[in-house]
């Protein structure tokens, strides 16, 4: 059997760990730059606060109902996420945990006898909450797709389900699929769900399960569709993945704190994002073959909330794959110069590093000149300093000292678990 453990309104749960007064109060967390709502509790949902909705559109409801609002505190969320995953590894064995996202993990429970699945799931849920303060929901079923279905239903009526749903019999599986709309099934995209409804009158999971594999092959995108049908029928086709699977592309992009007009600010931002992306690149021991830089402008005059963004891209292929920040900045910054037009309002910029290959320079190379190794040692020193001292203590001057464009985070809570000088004060 497979299980999926999913943290309930994860970012909001993190905010509640140190604020028990918020346990029953509605809470929302805003995106980078306080633009949109990225996490909301059930209480906030009931008030009609939309997901991914712009903050200003919900401001009235939020103020009227005393909703607690937080800017995102990714340092806190990242740390608590690692604690949740560590707890799961402790309980289920490290090899049986596949971290799927910051707040979700699959567990392989194939060694647990069926009659004990509920007990084990309950113990996992309670231990995670006791150790980390984070509430989770758990869905257990024969396959990953069905576990997702179970998890979704367990969240529907939390009091009744106690946030746990185990689909261990054919009967329970059929009933659960009947209650699940076709678009809510993991792997069914928005477009294919429209097609399924219009062309095939398939509205729920059960109807989809009753289709044949041959049908799936021709209408549901070939092999992927066949796998989906098999998973729905209880046959495992999606195995536990190697969690260290490497990414094909690394991107760093942010909204600016306020619109940026100057080329110098734009260049600083791009240099900063490049440094950050390069850091991620080195963390997975890769080098990039090309850089893509993009900027988003909004030159629409009128209502400030009307959003007519335009994105412009520019990219360059590097002569040699590299992971060195200075090389990457040297190539990225000229791209911005070409994208820039005076008088435009820039909202956002981003850097993408693509064509990733294993970084051979990391091993050091005796056939290369000494200076190549110097670069590698420099990058290691840079990463270690920035990791242990935090806040990018060592940075390239190209990334700016003033940082006029830095994002807004007006309502961020303390970084209680990652900063010695921001520990939670207790009386």
Partner 1 sequence: MDGEYFSGAAYRGSKQFSQQDVRTANATGFGAAADDYAERGIDLNEQLIRNKPATFFFRMKGDAMTGAGIFDGDVLIVDRSLKLADGKVIVAILNGELLIRRYHKNFSSAFLIAENERFKSINLAEFNDFSLWGVVVYSIHQL
- Site residues for partner 1 per CB under 8 A: 18, 20-23, 78-79, 81-87, 90, 99, 102, 130-133, 243-244, 280, 283-284, 383-384, 387-388, 416-417, 420, 423-427
CB 426, min distance to partner 1, A: 5
CB 167 within 8 A of CB 141: yes
Burial state string for 137-149 with b = 16 or more CB within 10 A and e = fewer than 16: bbbbbbbbbbbbb
Residues making up the chain, counted from first to last: 427
133 or 221: CB nearest partner 1: 133
133 or 354: CB nearest partner 1: 133
CB 176 within 8 A of CB 168: no
CB 383, min distance to partner 1, A: 6
C-alpha distances in Å from residue 224, one per residue of 6, 131, 216, 227:
24, 38, 9, 5
CB 138 within 8 A of CB 149: no
Q: What is the number of other CB atoms lying within 10 angstroms of the CB of residue 42?
A: 13
Kindly state the tokens that stand for 235: 């046959």
CB 380, min distance to partner 1, A: 8
CB 119, min distance to partner 1, A: 19
Whose CA is closest to 220, among 239, 180, 186, 193?
A: 193
Q: Residue 69: what are its φ and ψ, rounded to 5°?
A: -115, 135
CB 427, min distance to partner 1, A: 5
7 or 336: CB nearest partner 1: 7
172 or 395: CB nearest partner 1: 395
CB 132, min distance to partner 1, A: 6
Residues 6 or more apart whose CB falls under 8 angstroms from that of 132 comprise: 17, 80, 83, 84, 87
Sheet holding 37-40, edge to edge: 37-40, 27-30, 68-71
CB 314, min distance to partner 1, A: 27
405 or 416: CB nearest partner 1: 416
CB 169, min distance to partner 1, A: 34
311 or 384: CB nearest partner 1: 384
C-alpha to C-alpha distance for 422 and 11, rounded to whole angstroms: 19
256 or 273: CB nearest partner 1: 273
219 or 418: CB nearest partner 1: 418
């Amino acid at each position: 059997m497979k299980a999926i453990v999913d943290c309930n309104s994860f970012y909001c749960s993190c905010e509640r760990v140190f604020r028990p007064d918020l346990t029953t109060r509605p809470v929302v967390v805003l995106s980078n730059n306080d633009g949109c709502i990225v996490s909301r509790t059930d209480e906030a949902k009931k008030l009609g606060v939309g997901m991914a909705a712009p903050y200003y559109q919900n401001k009235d409801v939020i103020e009227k109902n005393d909703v607690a609002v937080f800017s995102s505190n990714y340092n806190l969320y990242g740390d608590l996420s690692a604690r949740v995953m560590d707890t799961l590894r402790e309980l289920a064995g490290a090899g049986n945990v596949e971290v799927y996202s910051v707040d979700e993990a699959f567990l392989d429970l194939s060694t647990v006898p069926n009659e004990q699945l509920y007990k084990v799931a309950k113990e996992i849920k309670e231990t995670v909450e006791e150790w980390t303060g984070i509430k989770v929901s758990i869905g257990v079923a024969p396959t990953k797709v069905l576990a997702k279905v179970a998890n979704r239903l367990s969240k529907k009526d939390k009091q009744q389900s106690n946030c746990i749903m185990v689909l261990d019999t054919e009967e329970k599986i059929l009933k659960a699929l009947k209650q699940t709309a076709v678009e809510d099934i993991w792997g069914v995209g928005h477009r294919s769900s429209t097609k399924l409804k219009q062309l095939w009158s398939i509205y729920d999971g059960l109807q989809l399960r009753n289709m044949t594999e041959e049908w799936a092959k021709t209408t549901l995108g070939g092999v992927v569709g066949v796998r989906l049908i098999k998973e729905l029928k209880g046959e495992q086709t999606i195995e536990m993945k190697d969690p260290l699977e490497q990414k094909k592309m690394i991107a760093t992009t942010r909204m600016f704190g306020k619109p940026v007009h100057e080329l110098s600010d734009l260049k600083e931002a791009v240099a900063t994002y490049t440094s950050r992306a390069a850091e991620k690149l080195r963390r997975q021991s890769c080098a990039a073959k090309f850089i893509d830089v993009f900027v988003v402008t909004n030159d629409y005059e009128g209502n400030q909330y009307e959003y007519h963004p335009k994105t412009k891209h520019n990219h360059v292929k590097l002569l040699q794959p590299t992971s060195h920040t200075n090389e990457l900045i040297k190539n990225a910054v000229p791209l911005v110069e070409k994208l820039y037009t005076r008088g435009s309002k820039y909202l956002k910029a981003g850097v993408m590093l693509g064509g990733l290959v294993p970084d051979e320079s990391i091993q050091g190379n005796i056939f290369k000149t000494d200076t190549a190794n110097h670069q590698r040692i420099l990058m290691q020193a840079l990463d270690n300093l920035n990791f242990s001292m935090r806040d990018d203590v060592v940075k390239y001057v190209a990334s700016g000292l003033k940082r006029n464009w830095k994002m807004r985070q007006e309502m961020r809570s303390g970084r209680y678990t990652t900063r010695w000088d921001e520990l939670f004060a207790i009386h």
